[in-house]
Amino acid sequence: MDLDYHALAPEIVVAATILLVLGLDVALPRRRKYWTAFAGVVGLTLAAVPLVTLALGGGPGARSMLGGGYVVDDFALVLKAVFIAGGYLVLLMSVSYIESDRYYQGEYYLLLLTSILGSLIMASSRDLITVFVGLELVTGPLFLLAGWRKGDARSNEASLKFFILGVLSTAVLLYGMSFLYGLTGSVTFEGIRTAGAGLLDSGAFRLAVLFTLIGFGFKITAVPFHFWAPDTYEGAPTPVTAYLSVGSKAAGFVGLLLLCYRAFPSVTEIWGPALWVLAALSMTLGNLTALRQDNIVRMLAYSSIAQGGFILVPFAAAAVTNDPLVIQEAASATIVYVIIYAFMNLGAFAVVIEGARRTGTSMIDGWAGMWRYAPRLAVLGAVFFFSLAGIPPLAGWYAKFAMFLAILRPGNPWTAALAVIAAVNAVIALVYYARVGKTMWMDPLPDGASDGERTARPMSGALALALGISVIFVILAGVLPFQLAGVFAEAAKVVTAGI
Amino acid sequence: MIAAAIVTADWYMTLAAVLFLIGMAGLLLRNNALVMFMSVELMLNAVNLTFVAAARAHGDIGGQMAVLFVLVVAAAEVAVGLAIIVSIFRIRRTASVDDLSELSG
């Protein structure tokens, strides 16, 4: 076997951590189960070390394994770093939330780490089989995590809806993949790209591409394949919802990036319009529905659907042009948006977890006057929600800026129309994000609540650390965006290479 | 004429397409979680049939490898799915998805 153990080191460390957590869960007495969380945090920290050595010492050459099906290049490294950082934040957020509940802790961290391992595999996958295995490793444990509160009917329902729609999307995706293989005779992206160039007029090839896109449409909760998301997001434990809206979604976008730019560059006239429609629908419907929500978790669910639409926008720009620089800029815009979105959305969810614990409700009205009893939390809430809205100097503005730059570059009437739709939606989104800020800062305290009773309980250290990391990233990336963008451009160059 | 017909990959592809559509219809029309689950398995087996037929037609091993992975993942999904259904059944005493309406809006 031609395995490169240095390149595989992050996956190996995470896999070893998973086994360790499994062993600890069996060995530890019930009140010491929190050690499993500690092991998970340490394991993820160690997994980040080989990423740094690979990035510094690897040079520009990609490390390729398994017949080109598993590649560790700049694109894979950047995204693995994001997945590990995102998983790290979710672990930190989970600690106090899970401990305060009466369900099992060990399994929780085991399943979460397994899902993170799946996303690491997604970032490196360069053939259909590895993409499929990675994607299933991401979503399989999440079905169980969504239903983690076994005695709660809402959590069960969330889990079942997610499961049924999840396996349906897997079946559709696989059927598309089996067609791709049947038509091209290859499972690798390179093989599909080479053979696909000769299949431009084949109806079956177009159908296969569409099936694959639909399969990923479910995973990234693009409208009209989004209907499971709000129910699942609301019913699942909140840290799991945070992971669903960031980790599993980002894994879906990684798969979509790889397939569109590496496997299907010859059929841009199929996926271009399809993703144009998905982007426009996701932004518009996601935002309009988010406007009407009273529950903050449900609002964030619809807002994440809308944000998914913004992330899809640059694909439409890449599809209408042959200029490699424009395509590279579009891929870079998607990667930048995914990364910034990951941090700001996780931060927003950390605020929601802490806010719900303080106030005992996730209804937005119940958070009125929060600045009086939790001023720091109200400041953090404002930072993350305004970052999601795209207000400078918070990171969200650069994500939207890069997205608009990419979509306006080709100068095609269709992409211009999508830019207008995106601009209108950015304004609509500001309304509901700002509403949360207004409730926390300007509205009077709800009846019967005194300042004193809500100040008594301090925040857990792990959650404070998660909030700290996200807020530092959101502010740094917003103030110094072009330094970060240089890193992402390298990753985009890799994914669009050879178009 | 029928005796002269040679079974080509197209026949298997057609059978797989029919199986996939039956599975899809079952998933969308039935409301018992177990039956929906069986329908998904039917769809996955249609995928397997397509992969194997294509691998045979191309004389390539990749498709058969894919089938092995699909089988393993499908088995894992059965375990996850049944666990969820059992968990729901314990609370509700039914496996029908019609009664699931705690979450909406």
The Cα of A224 is separated from the nearest Cα of chain B by a number of Å equal to: 16
Give A201 or B80, the one with higher predicted confidence.
B80
Predicted confidence (pLDDT) at residue A476 exceeds the cutoff of 80: yes
Residue A141 CB partners (closer than 8 Å, separation 6+): A111, A112, A114, A115, A118
pLDDT of residue A15: 94
Predicted confidence (pLDDT) at residue A118 exceeds the cutoff of 70: yes
Enumerate the residues of chain A whose CB falls inside 8 A of the CB of residue B40.
Answer: 164, 167-168, 171
Which of A73-77, A441-445, B3-7 has the weakest average pLDDT?
A: B3-7
Render pLDDT for A382-431 as a digit per residue (tens, 0 to 9): 899 999 888 888 888 888 888 888 888 887 888 888 889 989 988 989 88
When CB atoms are compared, the residue of B76, B90, B103 closest to A140 is B76
Tokens of A74: 């700049």
Render pLDDT for A352-379 as a digit per residue (tens, 0 to 9): 988 888 887 888 888 888 888 888 888 8
Enumerate the residues of chain B whose CB falls inside 8 A of the CB of residue A179.
Answer: 50
Q: How many angstroms separate the CA atoms of A242 and A337, rounded? A: 17
pLDDT band at A457 (very low <50, low <70, confident <90, very high): low
Predicted confidence (pLDDT) at residue A288 exceeds the cutoff of 50: yes
Enumerate the residues of chain B whose CB falls inside 8 A of the CB of residue A187.
Answer: 62-63, 65-66
Average pLDDT over residues A31-41: 83
Task: Calculate the dihedral angle through the C-alpha atoms of B65, B68, B71, B72, rounding to the nearest 10 degrees.
Answer: -110
Predicted confidence (pLDDT) at residue A14 exceeds the cutoff of 90: yes
With vertex at residue A299, the alpha carbon angle to CA A289 and CA A468, rounded to the nearest 5 degrees, is 150
pLDDT band at A30 (very low <50, low <70, confident <90, very high): confident
Identify whether A224 is preceded by a cis peptide bond (ω within 30 of 0): yes
pLDDT of residue A376: 85
Output the CA torsion sign for A421, A234, A92, A373. Answer: positive
Q: Please state the pTM of the whole predicted model.
A: 0.90
Mutation target vs B (from A178, A226, A302; most B CBs, 10 A cutoff): A178
- Subunit contact A159:B65, Cβ cutoff 8 A: no
Q: How many angstroms separate the CA atoms of A126 and A149, rounded? A: 36
Query: Which SS3 state, helix, strand or coil, does residue B102 take?
Result: coil
The Cα of A163 is separated from the nearest Cα of chain B by a number of Å equal to: 7
Render pLDDT for B35-74 as a digit per residue (tens, 0 to 9): 888 899 999 999 999 999 988 888 888 888 899 999 999 9
With vertex at residue A458, the alpha carbon angle to CA A457 and CA A462, rounded to the nearest 5 degrees, is 135
pLDDT of residue A330: 86
List of domains in chain B: 2-97 (1.10.287.3510)
| B21-80 residues touching A, CB cutoff 8 A | 23, 27, 33, 36-37, 40, 43-44, 46-47, 50-51, 53-55, 57-58, 60, 62-63, 65-66, 69-70, 73, 76-77, 80
Contact of B105 with chain A, judged by CB distance below 8 Å, is answered with yes
Place of tokens 């019913």: A235
pLDDT of residue A58: 58
pLDDT of residue B105: 41
Query: Which SS3 state, helix, strand or coil, does residue A402 take?
Result: helix
- Residues A216-237, buried b or exposed e (16+ Cβ, 10 A)? bbbbbbbbebbebbbbbbbbbb
pLDDT of residue A414: 86
Q: Where are the domains of chain A?
A: 266-499
ipTM of the complex model: 0.89
Tokens of B71: 């089988």
Q: How many angstroms separate the CA atoms of A206 and A217, rounded? A: 16
Closest CA to B39 of A173, A172, A378: A172
Tokens of A343: 């941090």
pLDDT of residue A20: 93
Region for residue B8 given its phi and psi (left: phi exceeds 0; alpha: psi -120 to 50; beta: otherwise): beta
Average pLDDT over residues A65-75: 79
Give A57 or A469, the one with higher predicted confidence.
A469
